[in-house]
Amino acid sequence: MTKTALITGATSGIGKATAYEFAKHGIHLILCGRRKERLQEIKNELKDKTNVHILNFDVSDKNEVQNAINSLPKDFQTIDILINNAGNAHGLDPIQTGSLDDWDAMMDINVKGLLYVSKAIIPQMTERLSGHIINIGSSAGKEVYPKGNVYCASKHAVLAITEGMRIDLNPYGIKVGSVNPGLVETEFSQVRFKGDKIADTVYKGFKALQAEDIADIIYFVISRPCHVNIADLLVFPTAQANSTTVKKN
């Protein structure tokens, strides 16, 4: 039976690449993000491969989230796979000079946004006794690096929430897991550094992971047999050993 996946943060990077990967396999798609024109463009590109519905909302606004999920047309109301991917780092500053606005953005989007979207979708999964939730964490959820403070905290929270979800949803047969990448070359650093040209240097001198590498892994995770749940997956580029050890040319 054809499955339907809802992907947050589908306008760019890992979420967008996952949409293209899932479309190759005929998975029906609900693509979410704030940049509506990008969602429309992606829908136009994928609509010959699979059924696509777009939802334009900010994950950090709980009313927008619930209204968006409530607005789904009948054919898209049954969500089998939830990819909680929307998120970013905002800033890279020592704790003593960090910006309150950056901290709010990271906690509101990466943590509370993930919770709001999950809260809107989990009830239908518990009712059906099936579903698969993948939370995109980060290597930053497994270790803390200099100036990573609040971003790392938000991703540690994603891992804690993932473990909590897996325990609480266990009686319902719902799979829950996390995919935790190291350095992936997306718009991530442009957002983190707010367009500053330092963003161009982050992926220089080594071969970073590409969004398509993570999309390929996410498809692998969701295509395992029913009894197999990949609970926690950490993936680095070969040149990276941990958050601070990267072999550059």
Cβ neighbour number for residue 108 with a 10 Å cutoff: 16
Q: Pick the catalytic residue from 151, 172, 203, 219.
A: 151
Catalytic residue flag (residue 151)? yes
Q: Which of residues 78-117 bind ligand 8X3 (CB under 6 A)?
A: none
**Residue written as tokens 């606004």?**
61
Question: What is the x/- site pattern for ligand 8X3, positions 148-187, by CB under 6 A?
Answer: x---------------------------------xx----
Length of the chain: 249
Q: What, of ligand 8X3, ligand NDP, none, does residue 187 touch, CB below 5 to 8 Å by kind?
A: ligand NDP
Tokens representing 164 are: 């909590």
How far apart are the C-alpha atoms of 10 and 35, rounded to whole Å? 9
Smallest distance from ligand 8X3 to CB 6, Å? 22
Residue 138 engages ligand 8X3 in binding (rule: CB under 6 A):
yes
Among 184, 221, 222, 246, interactor with ligand NDP by CB under 6 A? 184
- Grouping H, G, I as helix, E, B as strand and the rest as coil, residue 102 is helix
Among 30, 33, 156, 161, binds ligand NDP (CB under 6 A): 33
234, β-bridge pairs: 180
How many other β-carbons are positioned within 10 Å of the β-carbon of residue 25? 14
Q: Smaller CB distance to ligand NDP: residue 42 or 125?
A: 42
Site residues (CB under 6 A) for ligand 8X3, limited to 226-245: 243
Cβ contact 177:233 at 8 Å = yes
Distances (CA, A) of 135 to 131, 158, 175, 198, 201: 13, 7, 11, 28, 28
Q: Does residue 60 touch ligand NDP according to CB under 6 A?
A: yes
| CA distance readout (Å), 92 to 54, 56, 89, 106, 176 | 32, 28, 8, 12, 30
Element holding 56 (H helix, E strand)? strand 52-56
Choose which of 4, 5, 6, 14 interacts with ligand NDP (CB under 6 A).
14
Tell the smallest beta-carbon distance from residue 1 to ligand NDP (Å).
Answer: 28
Residues designated as active site? 151
Please report, as ranges, the residues that interact with ligand 8X3 according to CB under 6 A: 138-140, 148, 182-183, 243
Q: What residues make contact with ligand NDP under the rule CB under 6 A?
A: 8-15, 33-35, 58-60, 85-88, 109, 113, 136, 138, 181, 183-184, 186-188, 191, 211
